[in-house]
Amino acid sequence: MRFLSLLGFAQASGNLVSGYNGCLAALRRGGVHLVVLATDGSDGTKQTFLKAARRVPVIQVGTREQLGGAIGKSARAVLCIMEAGMAEAIMEAANTWITEAESTNGRVEETADHS
């Protein structure tokens, strides 16, 4: 699955921040190009990051186990991608993955508050 492989590559190249506190801090500092939320994350976590992301695209795809496993860590409900090209590739791969296996993995939902 290209989507999960790209997450692993982003982690290995230092372009990924994972976990609730790390991602909130990264969003406050700026430079985040994509927020990835697990579809099985808590509603509170999803709402927190949808609000915190402001003008940063947010996608909901994969489970916490899948996201954590892709980056060689325990389950993660949220990931932040710090490099623009990598973020674009991950969004494209996520959409392809979901299109190919929508019934198993949920849907990619890109949301951003552009106010």
The domain 2-105: what is its CATH number? Answer: 3.30.1330.30
pLDDT in tens, 8-32: 999 999 999 999 999 999 999 999 9
Q: How many other C-beta atoms are found inside a 10 Å radius of the C-beta of residue 115?
A: 5
Q: What is the pLDDT of residue 97?
A: 80
Asked whether residue 68 carries a pLDDT value surpassing 80, the answer given is yes
**Type of residue numbered 8:** G
Please answer whether residues 58 and 50 qualify as being in contact, where contact means their C-beta atoms are separated by less than 8 angstroms.
yes
* Percentage of the chain lying above the pLDDT 70 cut: 87
pLDDT of amino acid 115 = 42
Residue 31's pLDDT is what?
Answer: 95
pLDDT of residue 105: 45
Two tokens at 85? 């090209």
